[in-house]
Amino acid sequence: MSTTGKVVTWTSVIAILALATFIYFKYCFSYAEGVNEGDINYFQKEGWVFKTYEGKMIQTGLKNTKVQGAVQSNEFKFSVADERVAQKLFESSNTGVKLHWKRYKGTLPWRGNSEYIVDSVYVAK
């Protein structure tokens, strides 16, 4: 094999490894996880090709502004990839819930429209 062929081969290998690393960290590596608590505003299955579960949670809290004691509403948009977790959310309507989520840098069409993917649900007390 000539020197040019070796350079092209090694450049191709390095480019493929760099692309695979980028894809892994962008779409498959969960860089944060946490828990949010509140009331489910809506939860639905939607999509044209890939049917995914999408929802929005309303979290209430005290607003940190010049108005003393003002109440604000925070929205938490999320997706659910697991069918069992989605069923538990459907059953938990009209109750406060805690959602454990993982955050990804990018979205995949079969995983949902949000960077926040809920993987477990707990009924808040």
Flag whether 72 is in a domain: yes
- Of 73 and 49, more confident: 49
CB atoms within 10 A of CB 26: 13
- Do 96 and 39 meet the contact criterion of CB atoms below 8 Å apart? yes
Structure tokens of 71?
């109440």
Q: Indicate the pLDDT class of residue 123, thresholds 50, 70 and 90.
A: confident
The CATH number covering residue 113 comes to 2.40.50.140
pLDDT value at position 100? 95
Structure tokens of 13?
């290998």
* Residue carrying the six token digits 């946490």: 34
pLDDT value at position 25? 85
Flag whether 1 is in a domain: no
CB atoms within 10 A of CB 57: 24
* Residues 93-104, mean pLDDT to the nearest whole number: 89
| Residue 36 belongs to domain spanning | 31-123
Flag whether 36 is in a domain: yes
> Among candidates 79, 9, 87, 94, which has minimal Cα distance to 47?
79
Dump pLDDT digits (tens) for 51-98. 999 999 998 765 555 666 666 668 899 999 999 999 999 988 778 899
